[in-house]
Structure 1
């Protein structure tokens, strides 16, 4: 019985150690979020701009990482992290485009909740904001 408890304790300690060492950093989350924007939001952009969207993201990656970082709340629990991000295409567009935004049907803002663990990310809640 003692051996079983000891083995179980060692396995749990090992698992916790692996989780701690592979808990992804915010920079990794920002890269993940940019890929999600490319695959999920770009196809929803109207008027033929969807085809240009991935190139625009690649050219503005640093700016997008900053935008995502500013719009993400992180709760790091050591073994895993929770990320809550609010993404709006309207906020990404230049201020000069504001007068024309009512003419273009853009995707709605989204709130994404993501867990980071074992070196990866899982979106567990994505909802459209109104």
Structure 2
């Protein structure tokens, strides 16, 4: 990847950041991201350059659309179930929160369908 785009230790963070989305699309999970970061450290990349190319995603809340795209990308029914369950649990029992929670689950199901997930999987796991 680095050779393909002529990136090196001397590349500045904006140059590296320009290719971060493409690299991120190639990395299936946190383990792969960790391995890439470690490989960059071994090539003597500094922290800010590694962060520009492989940004830290911990603590970042995904939007409903991002959750659906992620589930469609992985194709794992457990990811669908986990994300649907996370959206389905109301923070408290007020009527407004319950309605909002239901709306989030409906939106998630719609986004899954738009992302190309099998309708049978949506009905079963979301």
TM-score, normalized by the shorter chain, greater than 0.5: no
Q: Which has the higher strand share?
A: 1
Q: Which has the higher helix share?
A: 2
TM-score relative to the length of structure 1:
0.24
